[in-house]
Amino acid sequence: MKAAHLLRVPDDGLARKATLAAAAALGEPFIDASSNDYLGLAAGFVSRETSAAGAGASRLIHGTAPEHQALERELAAWVSTPSALLFSSAYAANLGLVSALGTAGTVIISDASNHASLIDGARLAKAQVVVVPHLDLDAIDNALGAHRSARACWVLVESYFSMDGDGPDLSRLRTLCDAQDACLVVDEAHALGVFGPRGAGRCAEHGVRPDILIGALGKAVGSHGGFVAGSTALRSYLWNRARSFVFSTAPSPRLAALSLEQVRGAQEADEARKRLLNNAAALREKLLGAGLEVARNSFGPIVSIVLGDNERVLAAAANLRAAGILAQAIRAPTVALGAARLRLTVKSTFELEDVKRLASAVEAACRA
């Protein structure tokens, strides 16, 4: 790309700064002829305390603001990687990442329960895709062995699966990838902020360093957006090749500034994390004690009660709503046919009485 003069170097706002300085030196007004802010509304309502509402353009067309840079630095430091790249959503992050990685001659090995964004990214890629049974590390090892001659092998997993509330043995997975010279790509969307030191995720909790980590800001962080963290070379590659990044307007600088504060708050929320996991353990214990089929090997704040039948799970969710409790009925294609379930998400803000009431109401709804 560089030889063909096609490599776009992430300027992170440097070109805008240089142009502003040049205009000032000439005593001329700065003219922005790059932005898509056609009505001039993106910078509206800006004060010393607030950032611009809109970036006005993609990052490649001078859409970078200092707020993006500050957030990316904080995210990279949080998950202990050299760099991070902000996307408009975690879906966009996975879609852009996986489709960009999966070049011809490479192999993507994907857990069968991976999120739709990882699946769609693999479908858009030019790589060979191998889907392995959920959490079957032996199947991953066998797939890696069968594709040792591939240009590259990318192993895609979630650290905490959002439907079953379970996760892989990350330490063993890292060992398998190292032994087979493969790259480990871990989506920490539902684990970031919940597990690990300062909420840095399950990889940090287990002392595992993935080659690439994906994080979400719309879950435990309580904001919006997603990011890919890894090497500086990865960031530069995605800047050029991740289509969901290249062809999207940059996230709102105002939102990025808010997200930075939310990320810092999430890192300091150790007491809330402790309450969250205690509440989840208490609810799971009560539901199992009542004889309900809680998803096997689950842990953490996602508690799913597998009912199997679509009509039954819809009725159970309706019964809960009538009791003043909102819980989602999950059916195919989000989960496999015959695996319909009530998906409960526990909060740190629940009191013990809330947990007891929830458990009792769920048992009654499922029995009915």
Residues catalogued as catalytic: 162, 190, 219
Q: How far apart are CA 116 and CA 88, in angstroms?
A: 16
SS3 sequence of the chain: CCCCCCCCCCCCCHHHHHHHHHHHHHCCCCCCCCCCCCCCCCCCCCCCCCCCCCCCCEHHHCCCCHHHHHHHHHHHHHCCCCEEEEECCHHHHHHHHHHHHCCCCEEEEEECCCCHHHHHHHHHCCCEEEEECCCCHHHHHHHHHHCCCCCEEEEEEECCCCCCCCCCCHHHHHHHHHHCCCEEEEECCCCCCCCCHHHCCHHHHCCCCCCEEEEECCCCCCCCCEEEEECHHHHHHHHHHCHHHHCCECCCHHHHHHHHHHHHHHHCCHHHHHHHHHHHHHHHHHHHHCCCCECCCCCCCEEEEEEECHHHHHHHHHHHHHCCCCCEEECCCCCCCCCEEEEEECCCCCCHHHHHHHHHHHHHHHHC
Residue 216: closest CA among 262, 180, 147, 184:
262
Q: How far apart are CA 12 and CA 53, in angstroms?
A: 18
**What are 25's two structure tokens?**
């030196």
